Every structure is written in structure tokens, then in C-alpha cells.
Amino acid sequence: MDGILPLWKPKGLTSHDCVIKIRKMFQTKKVGHTGTLDPDVEGVLPICIGKATKIVPFLTDTKKTYSAKLKLGVATDTEDASGNPIEEKSVEVMPEQQHIEDVMRQFIGEINQIPPMYSAVKVKGKRLYEYARENQYVERPVRRVRIDEIQLLSTPNEQEHSIAFRVVCSKGTYIRTLCVDIGKALGYPAHMLTLVREATGAFSNKNAVTFATIEEAILKKQEATLLYPIQMGLTHLDVWNVDSETAKKVLYGQKLPNNIQLRTDPFVIMHQNRVLAIYQSHEKQAGYIKPVRVFSR
């Protein structure tokens, strides 16, 4: 059984917890997730099964869409609602909506982020959350991320001092940190109240399935119908459709002359509507392309 399961991850489970459950439900060890979601976060978590596990890093490297809510007036050590307050400032009057929108627009494009201390980013062989739990402070690396879209979802909440917004961003973007940075730009300490991942690549809340749906499908022996083909996880990459002779060379993992013009590198090679491989430019031999992943018959 090969394909992509667009799981709607519930709150309370880690991404790895979901992988373990899917392994048992689909009775296979070849299962991998495509981008960690914190236990407190729910949303779209594409799960790759069987041969689809080969595209995990490529599906992970796609745009994400989130809906989030930030709270002004309080900063926490984890940058979200689960943490302990570390800074407070009274919000007498909420910033005007136009001002909030102007500030948010400043974050569109490529921006620098410093990941939270409570995160899985590695520094000197240890994850930042391990340092945080030991009350050790380490210098965190600045990361370059991209914000493609950001918009308010509703009128700012005067009673809760909260701001709900939607953001489309690159992989590796910390929405917790974005909430903190927006708060700073508005003149207040802030933290993230809630977060929902609405989409990853071609998968969204419109085609995601819950564990209850999966269990029902398994009882009917219809779980295979929940899986999407591998190419659905590669829609962000260009496609080169090849003839039968070239297809044989691709399946043998041969390097090929680079006589095509595509917008993405790596890219997908297909034959008769089937994904054969993912290729990229050969870094040592100019004018050639080489395989990154090959999908056997």
C-alpha cells in the first residue's frame, strides 16, 4: 500500500504519536510524517506510506497555511500559551485595525527569525528545548524564512487582547515567533494563543481525514481509498514526461544529458502518468542530471 494520507492531527498527540498509530492501523513500518506539529496544535499532517516515504523531505519542503491567534500584553518562555509569563505590559487600548494590518504587511517577504528556546532546532548537537529544560541559555542561529501572505481573520478582540490571522509561509517558519515579533512591532510583549495548520502543499482541511474516518474505512477494508498518489505530494515541482526508452534509463538510475528547461531543481520525471523518479542537476558534471529518488516498479 503506497500513497499519502492527509491526516487531520488532533490536539494532544505528537506527530510521532500519529506515525505510530498509522503504522498499527495500516500494518506497515514504512510510515513517515511531513513536518512536526506540536501536541497543542491541530491540523493537516500528511503521512507518507510505503513508497511514498521516499518523498518525505520534498513534501516537507512546501508552503504551509496556518490560522493563528496571538495575545498582546504577555510574553511567555515558550512563546505560546503553555509557557510561564516572562514579561507583561498592560493593554489599555487595543491598536487600531489599520495599524495592525500595516504592521503585519511589514513581515511579508523574506524575514529573519530566531527560533524559540523551546524548539527542536539543534545547536552543538543538542536540541534547544534540552538546553531550556536545563535552564541553560545558548545563542540561537538566525533562520531565513519567507512569509507569502498574512491577513487578519476578524476584528481584534478588545476583551481578550487577541488578534486572529492567517499566514502562508515557507517550511521552518515558527508561528510562535511570528506572534512575538508582531507584538513587538505593535509595542507589546505577546505570545501565541492558538494555532491550526490549514494546509501543507496540495493537502488542506478540505481533504484531510480524522482517525475516526480511518478506523471506519479499515472496518470496511477501504483504507486504501483514503490514500492520494505520490504525485500529489510533488505538485510544487516541475514535471518532465519522458518516452519509454528514457523511462528505462531513469528506472535504472542513470544520469542523463540536461537538455530540458524547467523552473524547479529538483524536478519530477513521469511516464504514462506514473512517477518514475526525482532528478536534479549534477553538481559535479555540468550538462547532466542525476537521480535523487527512484521509484521501482
* pLDDT tens per residue, range 38-53: 888 999 999 999 999 9
**Is 100 within 8 Å of 186 (Cβ atoms)?**
yes
CA distance 206 to 6: 10
Give yes or no for residue 261 having a pLDDT over 90. Answer: no
Residue 114 is predicted with a pLDDT of 87
Residue 140 is predicted with a pLDDT of 84
Q: How many other CB atoms sit within 10 Å of the CB of residue 200?
A: 25
Beta bridge partners of 6: 46
Active site annotation includes 38: yes
**Residue 68: closest CA among 199, 158, 192, 205:** 192
**Residue 265: closest CA among 290, 233, 297, 232:** 290
Average pLDDT, the chain: 93
Residue 25 is predicted with a pLDDT of 95
**Is 287 within 8 Å of 257 (Cβ atoms)?**
yes
CA distance 242 to 237: 16
Alpha carbon of residue 114 to chain centroid: 18
**Res. 260 pLDDT band, cuts 50 70 90:** confident
Q: Fill in the DSSP letter of residue 138.
A: -
For 181-228, the pLDDT digits (tens) are 999 999 999 999 999 999 999 999 999 999 999 999 999 999 999 999
Active-site residue, from 2, 38, 148, 265:
38
For 121-133, the pLDDT digits (tens) are 888 888 888 888 8
Q: Fill in the DSSP letter of residue 283.
A: S
Residue 297 is predicted with a pLDDT of 64
- Return the percentage of the chain with pLDDT > 70, whole number: 100
CA angle 16, 17, 19 (to 5 degrees): 60
CA distance 165 to 195: 10
Q: In the structure, how many helices (H) and strands (E) does the chain have?
A: 7, 18
Per-residue cell: 121:
532546532
**Is 186 within 8 Å of 152 (Cβ atoms)?**
no
Give yes or no for residue 119 having a pLDDT over 80. Answer: no
Give yes or no for residue 276 having a pLDDT over 90. Answer: yes
**Is 174 within 8 Å of 113 (Cβ atoms)?**
yes
